[in-house]
Amino acid sequence: MIGITTYVESARYSVHDCVAAVLPWAYVDQVSRAGGRPVLIPPMPDGGVEVLDGLDGLIVAGGADVEPARYGETPHPTVYTSPQRDAGELPLVRIALKTGLPLLGVCRGMQVMAVASGGRLHQHLPEAVGHGGHSTVGPVKVYAEHGVHFATGSRCREIYGAEAVVNSYHHQGVKDPGRMLPTAWCATDDLIEAIEHPDHPFAVGVQWHPEDMAANGLFQALVGAAAQLRGARGSKTEFFATV
């Protein structure tokens, strides 16, 4: 059972025009392909951390910037935030890191993991790295691409090998990973592209969007870690199958 946090956005569909909890279907598809059961998690003002009791793994999806006040800074003019998501996701991540619940952070999700671990972010990458190559400009999301290289002995290197080409769509990045360890870097400017927790069964954050890539290895690794946890604590599947 893999929980996936959702976006909070104005949405129009069918006869509805409203604020909605939404998620790109690619996340659901990747988790399903890897053998997991996706469970969508809307943000709750108090964190709603009891939801973790029913999960074997957690994915923190991409989306808006983390509020700079969460890491002790004032916002850059380009920052766009989702206070609801910060309030809902930071407690979930902190508990997942503390309890050993398998955890994957995607883009914003990696940045949430860094902030939850005492780290800080680059609020606007063009000013930090001197170029805008980590994102594209336009009304529709189009990925840039670049190479990354992985640390020896890291989870990411086990999955991707020594190097890989990844997609890219973000204007912020991790400056200080806090208690997390950097395990991947951009080939062109050394920006941190992945972080991992050294004392956790599976806690990986990546700056790219693996849900929109053909390779499924990262989701397979997460679901594999979740299956191990489920096996260790006992599954209720047989009980529910008889009800």
Structure tokens at 148: 């990354």
Which of 122, 134, 197, 209 is the catalytic position?
209
Q: Is 107 a catalytic residue?
A: yes
Q: Provide DSSP, 208-236.
A: S-GGGSS--HHHHHHHHHHHHHHHHH---
Q: Is 134 a catalytic residue?
A: no
Which of 107, 122, 186, 193 is the catalytic position?
107
DSSP 64: S
Which of 67, 193, 196, 211 is the catalytic position?
211
C-alpha distance across the termini of the chain, in Å: 19
DSSP 67: P
Contact by Cβ (8 Å): 147, 187: yes
DSSP 2: E
Q: Is 149 a catalytic residue?
A: no
β-pairing, 103-106 with 7-13? unpaired
If one counts every other C-beta atom within 10 angstroms of the C-beta of residue 78, the result is: 13
- Report the C-alpha dihedral over residues 15, 85, 171, 207, rounded to 10 degrees: -110
Distances (CA, A) of 156 to 108, 177, 204, 229: 18, 16, 8, 20
Residues marked as catalytic: 107, 209, 211
